[in-house]
Structure 1
Amino acid sequence: MRNKIQDIMREEPSAMLITDNWDDPVINMDINFNQHNARRAGLGKTDIGLSLLSVTEGIPVGSLYDGSILKNIYLKNIGYNSLEDVTVNSMLPNITAVTEEESIQRMLMDPERKQLLIDRLTSGRPVKEISDSISFEWKDPVAYRYNGQRAVIVQCNNAYGFTAEDTRLALEKKINERIDFPDGYSMKWLGEYKASTDSNKYLFRSLPIAVIFMFAVLVFLFRDFKKPLIIFLCLPLAYIGIVMGIFVSGKPFSFVAVVGALGLIGMMIKNGVVLIDEIAAQIKTGVEPVEALLSASSSRLRPVMMASGTTILGMIPLISDAMFGPMAVAIMGGLLVGTIITLMIIPVFYALFFNIKCD
């Protein structure tokens, strides 16, 4: 399954640097331990493991620094042609060798046989005498898991000129067409897709609270519910410019674009507050309501557009950036179109909410 998905990635022109998180298989040595023979020889599994380690990888006995690099010192036993002939020695004397009745009788009859006693206490046994067989098998060194289940992470990068979402959609289509996952197997997209999905979830979960606080601030500012409602009704108009900017530029509507779109809320509210405050100020000075709507819209058009224009010009260097390009396009399009429409729509809503009629 892993190889099939990697083959699909290699065929896809928008994918590059294909790899996975599983290491190369390693040789696993399986020893059929004979417990009866090993016990008579006074040997255990630890003894046979250390003895085989000494003739294969070596036993680490210390370390030293080669400049600033720490290197281990290994003790290695050489001279064996077969692992079955490796001598296994015990870390403790073989007491069973001198507790047998026959051995005790021989030592009592010949007290000078001290060397025989020492040999019996310290002598080892070949691996083949304390094991029935030795076999080798290729196995994966580590079984990786994701959320407690065994998993293989196959990954790649998007090629130059393609976004990560473009590559993901192309691969998803081919994988769904060519691979049928058996029962018990499933596929899950991680990487940038998961990060973006999780971020959007957490972002929009807190958005209603932010909207409530912003509306409360506007109510406190105007001492009125109608004027904040007028501003909030104009906010969706900014997304006309966002859609146009994304469509014209060809940028994906990614997480950073969503952040830019949400950031427009504050800018649009600021423009609405400036316009409504000017309308209310002119009406308060005695100007006719209809004249106040027209005059405030024309007088506030230049400063509002100049403020929006500086922000739009500041976003230009980010358009070519792979990560922040979608955010820049979303802010530029939404701010340009949204500001113009807002300056024209707010007076209309103001007239409807406050029952201002043209004579």
Structure 2
Amino acid sequence: MKRVYESPVFQMADADLKFSKPEARITINRDKANLMGISTQDIAQTLQYGLSGQRMGYFYMNGKQYEILAEINRQQRNKPADLRSIYLRNDEGTMVQLDNLISLEENVAPPQLYHYNRFLSATISTGLAKGRTIGEGLDEMDRIAREVLPDDFRTALAGDSKEFRESSSSLMFAFVLAIVLIYLILAAQFESFKDPLVIMLTVPLAIAGALVFMWGAGQTMNIFSQIGIIMLIGLVAKNGILIVEFANQKQEAGEPKMQAIRDAALQRLRPILMTSASTILGL
């Protein structure tokens, strides 16, 4: 958590695993207990009956039923050190003080343990600093986990972070699939593998232009910008189809290749600008 607090990417970090509950840990000296004729079961039962308030039975008085609860007087168990003064009987009937058989260690523990996928877990929640995106936050958290956590620890996402990571991977798959499908459809339409390749060469240029404008405007790569890039691919591919188709028609009419390309580009310039403007205004 210290590294998360120090990171400039996060603010107001918190974890649900808090060590705030006092705990007394008892360690039994088994060798000494055996020498004195006391088993570990006797010690455990004595502590259980004296501290747990367990119901031992019932008794009836004046027609009413009452529970019998085994518990040491509260004044005699207010402090962890009072456990040392408890006596129990060995197999010879002699009373032995518990202080001779145990070591007591005071500590703190979490008041509640949480589980995720059947493993003990701790959930870290944090807000993002101004100007930071959820993608940057996840990358920073992964970096801190790699540097701090040992190999036997595992991390997992939940809530909005999990949905963002899953949607990002799905969009990347959709992005690649869209390019492949567009190429195959164009290859079937033009009955050629060369013309679709010419059309698809405009896609990297369009993506580069989109990234430059995003950088200039201070925008980040998020789910909305990824959807916009996918739409841009479709728009650029449509414009390329029209230009290539018009150029092929002019070549079939007898025009030289370069002249046909220039005439097709000039003829389709205004419709392309109008389509792009209407799409931008519609968004």
User: Could you say whether these structures have the same fold, taking a TM-score greater than 0.5 normalized by the shorter chain as the test?
Assistant: yes
| Cα RMSD, aligned residues only | 4.4
In the TM superposition, residue 152 of structure 1 has moved relative to its aligned partner by 1.2
- Partner secondary structure for residue 219 of structure 1: helix
Report if the CA contact (8 A) 2:175-2:230 is conserved: no
Q: How does 1:95-110 map to 2 (within 5 A)?
A: none
Report if the CA contact (8 A) 1:89-1:122 is conserved: no
Q: 2:15 aligns with which of 6, 15, 20?
A: 20
Report if the CA contact (8 A) 2:15-2:125 is conserved: yes
Q: 2:260 aligns with which of 275, 285, 292?
A: 292
Q: 1:302 is matched with which residue?
A: 270
Report the count of equivalent residues.
236
Q: Does 1:219 align with 2:187?
A: yes
TM-score by length of 1: 0.51
Higher strand share: 2
Q: Deviations over 1:16-59 (max 9, x none)?
A: 44333347866899xx6569x99xxxxxx9xx55x7xxxxxxxx
Q: 2:68 is matched with which residue?
A: 125
Q: 1:236 is matched with which residue?
A: 204
In the TM superposition, residue 227 of structure 1 has moved relative to its aligned partner by 1.6
Between the aligned partners of 2:67 and 2:270, the Cα distance in structure 1 is: 97
Q: 2:249 aligns with which of 281, 303, 316?
A: 281
In the TM superposition, residue 297 of structure 1 has moved relative to its aligned partner by 0.8
Q: 1:272 is matched with which residue?
A: 240
Between the aligned partners of 1:195 and 1:210, the Cα distance in structure 2 is: 22
Q: Deviations over 1:138-178 (max 9, x none)?
A: 754532223332221111112444333455566777x589x
Q: 2:126 is matched with which residue?
A: 156
Residue identity opposite 1:308 in structure 2 = S
Q: 2:231 is matched with which residue?
A: 263
Q: How does 1:321-336 map to 2 (within 5 A)?
A: none
Report if the CA contact (8 A) 1:219-1:225 is conserved: yes
In the TM superposition, residue 229 of structure 1 has moved relative to its aligned partner by 1.9
Against the structure 1 CA distance between its residues 123 and 273, is the aligned structure 2 distance closer, same or farther, given a 3 Å change threshold? closer
Q: How does 1:86-101 map to 2 (within 5 A)?
A: 90=58
Against the structure 1 CA distance between its residues 120 and 127, is the aligned structure 2 distance closer, same or farther, given a 3 Å change threshold? farther
Between the aligned partners of 2:210 and 2:148, the Cα distance in structure 1 is: 39
Residue identity opposite 1:148 in structure 2 = R
Report if the CA contact (8 A) 2:171-2:226 is conserved: no
In the TM superposition, residue 190 of structure 1 has moved relative to its aligned partner by 5.9
Work out the percentage of aligned pairs sharing the same amino acid: 22
Residue identity opposite 1:309 in structure 2 = A
Between the aligned partners of 2:156 and 2:280, the Cα distance in structure 1 is: 38
Between the aligned partners of 2:165 and 2:120, the Cα distance in structure 1 is: 23
In the TM superposition, residue 189 of structure 1 has moved relative to its aligned partner by 6.4
Q: Deviations over 1:294-351 (max 9, x none)?
A: 1111111111012112223444xxxxxxxxxxxxxxxxxxxxxxxxxxxxxxxxxxxx
Any unmatched runs of 5+ in structure 1? 39-44, 52-87, 95-116, 316-359
Residue identity opposite 1:149 in structure 2 = F
Report if the CA contact (8 A) 2:114-2:121 is conserved: yes
Q: Does 1:204 align with 2:172?
A: yes
Structure whose alpha-carbon radius of gyration is higher: 1
Between the aligned partners of 2:260 and 2:66, the Cα distance in structure 1 is: 110
Against the structure 1 CA distance between its residues 168 and 128, is the aligned structure 2 distance closer, same or farther, given a 3 Å change threshold? closer
Between the aligned partners of 1:183 and 1:296, the Cα distance in structure 2 is: 61
Q: Does 1:142 align with 2:112?
A: yes
Report if the CA contact (8 A) 2:19-2:108 is conserved: no
Between the aligned partners of 1:218 and 1:188, the Cα distance in structure 2 is: 41
Q: Which moved more, 1:208-217 or 1:187-196?
A: 187-196
Against the structure 1 CA distance between its residues 296 and 147, is the aligned structure 2 distance closer, same or farther, given a 3 Å change threshold? same
Residue identity opposite 1:304 in structure 2 = I
Report if the CA contact (8 A) 1:235-1:265 is conserved: yes
Between the aligned partners of 2:64 and 2:256, the Cα distance in structure 1 is: 116
Q: Deviations over 1:198-233 (max 9, x none)?
A: 333333345554434322321232233222121122
